[in-house]
């Protein structure tokens, strides 16, 4: 959708204005099939307790579901992650001194105060994760090349030797970890290395570095001092490098940040962040924001990361200015297919359809009032809808409320069980997204 978000100073209403530029619809949904390699086996010396139970860490299966749902939500639904394989391994793929750790030996190392041996081995380069063994053991290259999976999530204990993310396959590239060589993979196979000692916020953080490195590969440069900045450099800019001209920031630096990890920074800065909800048309006024945009530190990094991901371009077609896809998510989850899609648009072998005038009329001048709200808020639409659907998401991207079969030009939303906080809505008509925006319950 080609929409510009405007905020009243008092947040008394939330208005969506359609500009005169062509409007691009959301990109088609991309199914992303995941193989989960679960490194959480029962420990013989601990009466069969699993690692997460022994150390009172998060259940990795719950983390997997939360990560899947969050990525689907923050991508505005253009990604449809599914968990297609779960390998509940009884062996580890970490080697120390070239020898595979067993369940009991790894548990004993984690029971050691300060994890001294694990840290020392990691820092000396004496430990590593055997990616080739894992890939062969689970036949992952064959599954990827047969399109049975798109990527792998390894969920293991801390200090298990894996990288946050890496890639195997022909012409693989750095995505925050080295290329895995010596495999039979033809297509690209991204592999996430996740840790169930940590929560969903750290999984989203690790995924964010994969996003950053993929976009560096797409644009071939990431410099804040370039004379002619590319769109990735614009998107990821923050106050310390572009004072009072920031856009959306990056994983470590919110747009108002002067230092690393300032997700609770209450200082205001002027940004162009709203323009990215209107991509690829980067026009419009700046707006002053601070950490209240993502609930400051109420959810740790997760609030900021969810805000950041929601500004990531997710639209159809290519940008006529740089000929890259308007849907950057496609590059992240299937780079080869994304490049083929990009080329098909650019050589006109695939047509690019803009939003219809009818769809624009639906979303034109939507007024949401009051916002923030306490008991009920109302959407005043630019045109009557029939059999529409309104979905509400929390800041993690998880769907928490749905209203179906909506007819009329006004929608009343009762608060019911919504707790205080920031929410996002998506208004859909015949499986088309015709409006998105933000709600604040207080």
DSSP letters spanning 14-44: EEEEE-SS--PPBPPPEEEEEEEEE---B-G
Burial of 120 (0-12, 13-18, 19+ CB in 10 A): exposed
What pLDDT shows up at residue 262? Answer: 92
- Average pLDDT, stretch 58-82? 96
Q: How confident is residue 359, by pLDDT bands cut at 50, 70 and 90?
A: low
What pLDDT shows up at residue 65? Answer: 96
CA pseudo-torsion sign 172, 249, 394, 406: negative
Asked which of 229-238, 246-255, 413-422 is least confident by mean pLDDT, the reply is 413-422
Whether residue 269 is contained in a domain is answered as no
Q: Which residues contact 158 (CB under 8 A, 6 or more apart)?
A: 110, 115, 195, 197, 198
Whether residue 344 is contained in a domain is answered as no
Question: Cis link prior to 372 (omega < 30° from 0)?
Answer: yes
Domain end marker among 198, 215, 238: 198
Q: How confident is residue 364, by pLDDT bands cut at 50, 70 and 90?
A: low
Residue 22 pLDDT exceeds 90: no
Whether residue 102 is contained in a domain is answered as yes
Question: Over 314-356, what HEC string results?
Answer: EEEEECCCCCCEEEHHHHHHCHHHHHHHHHHHHCCCCCCCCCC
Q: What is the chain's mean pLDDT, rounded?
A: 89
What pLDDT shows up at residue 385? Answer: 84
Q: Give the total residue count for the chain.
A: 442
Residue 7 pLDDT exceeds 60: no
pLDDT single digits (tens) 325-354: 999 999 999 999 999 999 998 988 777 876
What pLDDT shows up at residue 363? Answer: 57
Residue 356 pLDDT exceeds 70: no
CA pair distance 298, 324, nearest whole angstrom: 36
What pLDDT shows up at residue 366? Answer: 75
**Helix, coil or strand: residue 199:** coil
What pLDDT shows up at residue 19? Answer: 35
Q: How confident is residue 95, by pLDDT bands cut at 50, 70 and 90?
A: very high
Whether residue 36 is contained in a domain is answered as yes
Whether residue 437 is contained in a domain is answered as yes
Contact 438, 422 (CB under 8 A): yes
Burial of 114 (0-12, 13-18, 19+ CB in 10 A): exposed
Q: How confident is residue 15, by pLDDT bands cut at 50, 70 and 90?
A: very low
pLDDT single digits (tens) 262-302: 999 999 999 999 999 889 988 778 999 999 999 887 666 89
Distances (CA, A) of 286 to 4, 321, 439: 11, 21, 20
Residue 119 pLDDT exceeds 80: yes
Number of domains the chain contains: 2
Question: Cis link prior to 280 (omega < 30° from 0)?
Answer: yes
Contact 152, 191 (CB under 8 A): yes
pLDDT single digits (tens) 132-178: 999 999 999 999 999 999 999 999 999 999 999 999 999 999 999 99
What pLDDT shows up at residue 362? Answer: 57
CA pair distance 34, 144, nearest whole angstrom: 10
List the CATH number of the domain containing 382: 2.60.40.1930
Nearest to 122 by CA among 110, 134, 111: 110
Whether residue 405 is contained in a domain is answered as yes
Which domain range does residue 369 map to?
357-441
Residue 201 pLDDT exceeds 90: yes
Burial of 142 (0-12, 13-18, 19+ CB in 10 A): middle
Whether residue 118 is contained in a domain is answered as yes
Per-state percent for the chain, helix, strand, coil, to nearest 5: 30, 30, 40
- Residue with the bigger pLDDT between 392 and 187: it is 187
What pLDDT shows up at residue 143? Answer: 97
What is the CA angle 361-362-364, rounded to 5?
Answer: 60
Residue 5 pLDDT exceeds 80: no
Domain end marker among 171, 198, 225: 198
Whether residue 43 is contained in a domain is answered as yes
Residue 4 pLDDT exceeds 50: no
Domain end marker among 198, 218, 246: 198
- Average pLDDT, stretch 17-36? 75
Helix or strand holding residue 192 (H, E): strand 189-195
pTM equals 0.83
């Amino acid at each position: 959708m080609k929409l510009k978000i405007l905020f009243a100073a008092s947040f008394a209403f939330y208005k969506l204005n359609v500009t005169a530029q062509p409007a691009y619809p959301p990109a088609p949904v991309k199914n992303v099939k995941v193989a989960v390699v679960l490194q959480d086996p029962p420990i013989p010396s601990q009466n069969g307790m699993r690692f997460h139970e022994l150390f009172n860490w998060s259940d990795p299966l719950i983390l997997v579901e939360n990560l899947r749902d969050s990525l689907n939500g923050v991508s505005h639904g253009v990604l449809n992650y599914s968990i297609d394989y779960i390998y509940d391994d009884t062996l580890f793929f970490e080697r120390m001194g070239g020898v595979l750790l067993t369940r009991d030996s790894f548990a004993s190392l984690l029971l050691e105060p300060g994890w001294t041996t694990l840290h020392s081995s990691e820092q000396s380069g004496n430990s590593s994760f055997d990616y080739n063994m894992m890939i062969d053991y689970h036949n992952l290259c064959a599954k990827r090349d047969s399109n049975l999976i798109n990527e792998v999530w390894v969920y293991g204990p801390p200090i298990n030797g894996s990288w946050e993310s890496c890639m195997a396959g022909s012409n693989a590239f750095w995505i925050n970890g080295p290329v895995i060589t010596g495999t039979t993979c033809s297509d690209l196979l991204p592999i996430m290395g996740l840790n169930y000692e940590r929560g969903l916020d750290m999984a989203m953080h690790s995924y964010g570095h994969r996003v950053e490195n993929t976009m560096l590969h797409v644009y071939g440069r990431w410099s804040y001092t370039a004379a002619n900045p590319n769109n990735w450099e614009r998107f990821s800019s923050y106050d310390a490098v572009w004072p009072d001209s920031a856009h959306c920031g990056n994983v470590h630096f919110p747009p108002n940040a002067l230092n690393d990890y300032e997700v609770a920074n209450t200082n205001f800065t002027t940004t162009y962040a709203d323009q990215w909800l209107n991509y690829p048309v980067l026009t419009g006024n700046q707006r002053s924001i601070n950490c209240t945009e993502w609930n400051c530190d109420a959810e740790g990094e997760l609030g900021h990361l969810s805000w950041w991901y929601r500004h990531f371009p997710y639209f159809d077609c290519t940008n006529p200015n740089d000929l890259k896809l308007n849907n950057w998510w496609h590059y992240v989850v299937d780079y080869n297919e994304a490049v083929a899609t990009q080329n098909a648009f650019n050589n006109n072998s695939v047509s690019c359809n803009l939003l219809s005038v009818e769809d624009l009329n639906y979303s034109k001048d939507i007024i949401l009032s009051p916002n923030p709200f306490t008991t009920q808020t109302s959407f005043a639409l630019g045109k009557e809808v029939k059999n529409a659907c309104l979905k509400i998401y929390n800041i993690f991207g998880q769907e928490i409320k749905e209203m179906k079969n909506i007819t009329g030009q006004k929608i009343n939303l009762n608060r019911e069980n919504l707790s205080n906080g920031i929410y996002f809505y998506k208004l859909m008509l015949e499986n088309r997204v015709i409006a998105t925006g933000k709600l604040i319950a207080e």
